[in-house]
Structure 1
Amino acid sequence: MSTALPRLSSARVDPLREIEILDEYGARRRILIPLERPLTIYVDKRELVTLMTLGAQPELLVLGYLLNQRLIESPAQIEAIQVDWEVGAAAVKTRAGLAEIEARTAQRVVTTGCGQGTVFGDVLSHIEAVRLPDARSARISQGGLQAILEVVRQQDSLHRRAGSVHGCALFEGATMLLFVEDVGRHNAIDTIAGWMALQRIAGADKVFYTTGRLTSEMVMKSAQMGVPIVVSRNGVTQMGHELATRLGMTLFGRAANRRFLCYTGFERFDAEPLPPPAPTAVQLVVGGAPELARSR
């Protein structure tokens, strides 16, 4: 098989648009909102799926989508990805076609969340083949987690300027390797997957961060990228929790500032527990005379 990387267009577009709004004070003013666009993917001239995206890095999004759907095993299977925003299309040309693509894409599942992701029905059946590093070689400390959260807190983002988007990031230690925002968290993680594949970056020693909730789709895609530790500002669904447990992944949720919940994979986590909060003084009135009591 060829080891050549695909030729990619460079079709980035402005992710924001300015509009006029009327606020609660009756004032008219200009604000920025995310500019959502449809991007239809064609593989060897066959229509595959339409993604709703900001279009910041569409070629990486398309490549990561094909990888995370297990439609390709390597970027080397792709000869070119050309995005044309005038027609809202991404033309993917493979080197030798995709085997059994009709059967493999016959069943689609529309997933939860912003932008409505799509997963082809047989993807989950292959998840048992994923092998992640054991807990001795892939770990995170509480201090390391806090360092990641601080980097995210200081990150300049479209969300701060316009809202209505999700952000995802890939970390090596406390170093942010890539930060991507899109209307759907599934688009952002696919873009990161595409970038990792092109850069030939392995996920075993990485941490994935997302602002979105940890659904089964997000957990599955993280696992397919080889990343065993996932951090979310949001929570986790039952299916996400169950899948991470089966795969031996470590999931953190409700992670912001210095707070977090570790849902699964405690064996990878070097906890440094904070002292419990001090009891607060509560004033009680007994028989007309105030008394101080300790709340527990």
Structure 2
Amino acid sequence: MRRPILTQASRPLTFEIDAINERGEIVPTAIAGEHPLTLYVDKREIVTLMTLGAAPEALALGYLRNQRLIGSLDEVAGIQVDWEVNAVAVTTRHGNGVAANRMERRTVTTGCGQGTVFGDLMDEIDTLKLPTDAHLTEAGLYGLLEAVRHHESIYKQAGAVHGCALVSNSGTHSDILMFVEDVGRHNAVDAIAGQMWLDGLDGGDKIFYTTGRLTSEMVIKTAQMGIPCLVSRSGLTQMGWELAKRIGMTMIGRAQGKHYLLFSGEERFSR
């Protein structure tokens, strides 16, 4: 078996930013990296994967293997990663790329890292406008966390799911307006977006809560719904943080009980 020629282009896995905790203290906080990596096979674009960047060459090869797009390692001549353009180029020995019949039927799974629509979303990010007069109080945040804690859920019964909630923001307390669970958090947020559209609901006076981590795609989808405040019990990624700051979203993570970290949009939040 011939081994392909590989670059060794891993990226730093964590980055440190300043967050503000429930006592108003600035806390240096490590966050995970998140990078788009567009996969090309013989110059044909296949997919954009969102990745930590630890082993991009192995990621590209494994994706092609698990999607059955490449049948044998012998077919692969080389894998070259270029983070300047966020791309990985796979070159085959025959130079014919992926067989057309292997690309005809593809299913996007419930996994969290395959950002197949990332490019289209990023093209629209600067057109998204969030209300500047929205305000979130600490009392409202605690009310949200308490409401979520008492909400009956599939997760409590069976685990293995993510939950998302659309929550009212009256300033002093919060009520759950919708709560959706699914095997992937992106399915849950999409279901809420669809129901908001059906019901003609505006997002400007709402809070979005998710059990999952705050990635770039989660930030963009929340902004597309016009919701200015995003809360999670989990952490966030570097790109999620950068996009939240870029569009002026108030983003709070690691929120459980009376603990939270405010990552962006502090001008909209009052303790």
**2:120, 2:190 → 1: CA distance?**
18
1:111 and 1:119 in contact (8 A); partners too:
no
- 1:150 is aligned to 146
Pairing 1:264–2:260 present: no
In structure 2, runs of 5+ residues without a counterpart are 1-105
Deviation of 1:237 (Å): 0.2
Measured against aligned partners, the alpha-carbon deviations of 1:53-112 in whole angstroms (never above 9, x if no partner) come to xxxxxxxxxxxxxxxxxxxxxxxxxxxxxxxxxxxxxxxxxxxxxxxxxxxxxxx9x899
Measured against aligned partners, the alpha-carbon deviations of 1:246-279 in whole angstroms (never above 9, x if no partner) come to 00000000001111000000000011xxxxxxxx
- 1:195 is aligned to 195
Q: Pick one of 112, 119, 123 that aligns with 2:121.
A: 123
**1:251, 1:169 → 2: CA distance?**
15
| Cα distance, 1:175–1:185 mapped onto 2, change above 3 Å | same
TM-score (norm 1): 0.52
2:110 and 2:184 in contact (8 A); partners too:
no
Q: Could you tell me which amino acid in structure 2 is paired with residue 128 of structure 1?
A: D
TM-score (norm 2): 0.57
**1:223, 1:178 → 2: CA distance?**
17
**1:213, 1:111 → 2: CA distance?**
18
Pairing 1:170–2:166 present: yes
SS in 1 for 2:203: coil
- 1:211 is aligned to 211
Deviation of 1:127 (Å): 1.0
2:213 and 2:236 in contact (8 A); partners too:
yes
**1:117, 1:183 → 2: CA distance?**
16
| Cα distance, 1:239–1:115 mapped onto 2, change above 3 Å | closer
Deviation of 1:117 (Å): 5.8
2:253 and 2:262 in contact (8 A); partners too:
yes
| Cα distance, 1:231–1:268 mapped onto 2, change above 3 Å | same
- 1:133 is aligned to 131
1:229 and 1:250 in contact (8 A); partners too:
yes
* Structural RMSD (CA): 2.0
SS in 1 for 2:124: helix
Deviation of 1:121 (Å): 2.5
In structure 1, runs of 5+ residues without a counterpart are 1-107, 272-296
| Cα distance, 1:112–1:161 mapped onto 2, change above 3 Å | closer
- Aligned pairs (5 A) from 1:279-290: none
Identity value in percent: 58
Divergent runs of 4+, >6 A:
none
**1:238, 1:220 → 2: CA distance?**
14
**1:111, 1:242 → 2: CA distance?**
26
- 2:96 is aligned to none
Structure index of larger Rg: 1
**2:109, 2:253 → 1: CA distance?**
20
| Cα distance, 1:115–1:121 mapped onto 2, change above 3 Å | closer
Q: Could you tell me which amino acid in structure 1 is paired with residue 160 of structure 2?
A: S
**1:162, 1:115 → 2: CA distance?**
23
Deviation of 1:116 (Å): 5.0
1:140 and 1:269 in contact (8 A); partners too:
yes
**1:246, 1:143 → 2: CA distance?**
26
**1:125, 1:111 → 2: CA distance?**
23
SS in 2 for 1:179: strand
